[in-house]
Every structure is written in structure tokens, then in C-alpha cells.
Amino acid sequence: MATEAIYIIVGKGRRCESYVGDGFIPAGTKVTIRAEIPFVEAGDDGLDCLVGYKTLDGSFWYVTRAGKRRRLRRGGRLRRDWKMPQEKVWQHAFPELPYPSRRASSEIVGQERDGTL
């Protein structure tokens, strides 16, 4: 169970980022996001993404497209209302990829839980 979730998508020098929902997000929830990132060829190293989420105990985790999953802590302890800066999450997950200053628009176009929209 996540108490909050974020997504970050980066490609061709642009980024999309936002929060998903505003409350508890059950495990297994699928979210469809439309991002206005310029077209990237398959296999291009210029595109990547991650999903970050805070669990009930206040831990913050992220998962990359490649399946890398890590827990982040700030000083070993997180307050429940603490928010992880999105740029810091990106830099931790992808130290070799710059975090673009140019934003692109994105929107959540669908959310599905247990096979229902």
C-alpha cells in the first residue's frame, strides 16, 4: 500500500513528472500516463522513467523501467509528511543521466484496479 506515488519520465532533453492520486494507492493499481515527450526510437538511451512511492511506514522507494528497486532515506529517518524532491530521486536512480530543466506536459488518462477502471 502506497500513501503517495510519483512518476518521472525523461526523454530528448525534456521531463514529465507529477504525483499519482492524493491518497492511498493499493498494490497492483495500474495507471496510464500520456506524456508529451518527443518521439524516441526503440533502444534509444535518451528515454527512461521511474515510479517512486512512500509506504505506510514512511519509507520512500523507487522502481526504474529496468526493474531496479531501491529504498531511499533522508538521514535514516523520514517524517510522514516529508516529500522526496523529484530531482533527487532521479539523480539517485540515474546518476549518469542529467535531469532536464525543460518540462513537457503529461496527464493521467486511466487508472485501473482489479480489472476495473
Q: What is the pLDDT of residues 72-92, one digit of tens each?
A: 865 345 455 556 688 888 898
Q: What is the pTM of this model?
A: 0.77
> Is residue 117 a part of any domain in this protein?
no
Residue 67's Cα: distance from chain center in Å?
Answer: 13
In a domain, 48, yes or no: yes
- What's the one-letter identity of residue 108? I
Query: Mean pLDDT, to the nearest integer, of 35-58?
Result: 77
Domain count, the chain: 1
Residue with cell 535531469: 99
- The pLDDT of residue 45: 62
Domain hosting 29: range is 2-112
Burial class (CB in 10 A: 0-12, 13-18, 19+), 7: buried
| CA gap 51, 2 in Å, rounded | 12
